[in-house]
Amino acid sequence: MKVAILAGGLGTRLAEETGVKPKPMVKIAGKPILWHIMMHYSYYGFRNFAIALGYKGEVIKKYMVDYCSLNSTLTVDFPTGEVTMKGGRIPPWKVDLVDTEVHTQTGGRLKRLTPYLDNETFMLTYGDGVSDINLSELLAFHRSHGKLATLTVVHPPARFGYLELDGEYVKEFSEKPQTREGWINGGFFVLEPAVLDYIDGDDTQWEKEPLERLAKDGQLMAYQHTSFWQCMDTLRDKRFLEALWQSGDIPWKVWEEQNAFITDRSQGLHWDNSDPYAVGRGA
């Protein structure tokens, strides 16, 4: 199953970082947030990606092209120019990097990925948010209802601390809670190919007409995720995610390092995919 990732926006609210790189390449713990998202999908067995590029897409291309060589032992035969990679820590991914133009809207970017989605059920998310969502359960939910689209809904994190008062006494204080009311679009979609017919062209925003029409047609279902979810819209968000990583409390890091990479290219990683809902088990 393909995973489509929208990675072409300008990231204007994170201008401190995005002047020289696209937002999905802003780093958390030394790795782009895009890498964290792909590692999450990979853990659940989804390792075939189609990434919609736009603003500074060449930075993502270069990162992906260089990744294997920079994380491997290299043997360079100078007379022939042959480079052989050995060992290293390589994730078992196949990635389509698709230019979708800088000013294309989110729906248009998804529409341009059509040739790479194999006319099958596919997943879709944004290149700037992490979560501890169980993707196997999300897929099972989608298959259970038979509609065209599943949208993961989340309670947004409160921007400021939450206080519950009893008169003048502070009864409860939470610095980084999820808000207790209301749901928002958290990304992490599962979609059928027919949803692409709801997108008119490059100027279509996925979050407007297509989702509105799918809802009106009774074809949009909500998967309610009540655990960790965090987007990275601002420098404050980046620092929050960095602080979680440094603390060792990393809700979105579901993978284990020893099982997440191919270290011997002659054998690869031995994943147990006999049960489509029991994915992500390491060797």
Q: 191 vs 279, which has greater pLDDT?
A: 191
Query: pLDDT-based confidence at 258, cuts 50/70/90?
Result: low
Contact between 260 and 270 under an 8 Å Cβ cutoff? The reply is no
Please report the pLDDT score of residue 85 as a whole number: 86
Which residues touch 214 (CB under 8 Å, ≥6 apart)?
A: 148, 149, 195, 198, 220
Q: 173 vs 17, which has greater pLDDT?
A: 17
Domain boundaries, the chain: 2-259
Lowest mean pLDDT among 158-162, 194-198, 210-214: 158-162
Residue 243 pLDDT greater than 50, yes or no: yes
CATH 3.90.1150.10 is the classification of domain 2-259: no
**CB neighbourhood size of 167 (10 A):** 6
192-209 burial string, b = 16+ CB within 10 Å, else e?
Answer: beebbebbeeeebebeee
Strands 27-28 and 31-32: antiparallel
pTM score:
0.87
Average pLDDT over residues 101-118: 97
By residue count, the chain amounts to 283
Please report the pLDDT score of residue 176 as a whole number: 59
Which residues touch 202 (CB under 8 Å, ≥6 apart)?
A: 101, 103, 104, 105, 108, 111, 112
Please report the pLDDT score of residue 156 as a whole number: 82
1-27 burial string, b = 16+ CB within 10 Å, else e?
Answer: bbbbbbbbbebeebeebbeebbbbbbb
3-state secondary structure 103-115: CCCHHHHHHHCHH
Lowest mean pLDDT among 75-84, 137-146, 240-249, 263-272: 263-272
Residue 198 pLDDT greater than 50, yes or no: yes
Spatial separation of the C-alpha atoms in residues 238 and 104, rounded to whole Å: 25
Average pLDDT over residues 188-206: 98
Query: pLDDT-based confidence at 263, cuts 50/70/90?
Result: low
Please report the pLDDT score of residue 164 as a whole number: 67
Residue 104 has φ and ψ, to the nearest 5°, of: -70, 140
30-82 tens-digit pLDDT: 999 999 999 999 999 999 999 999 999 999 999 999 998 898 889 999 999 99
Could you tell me the two tokens for 123?
A: 């997943």
What is the DSSP track for 183-200? -EE---EEE-GGGGGG--
Residue with tokens 């960095």: 242
Which residues touch 265 (CB under 8 Å, ≥6 apart)?
A: 85, 86, 87, 90
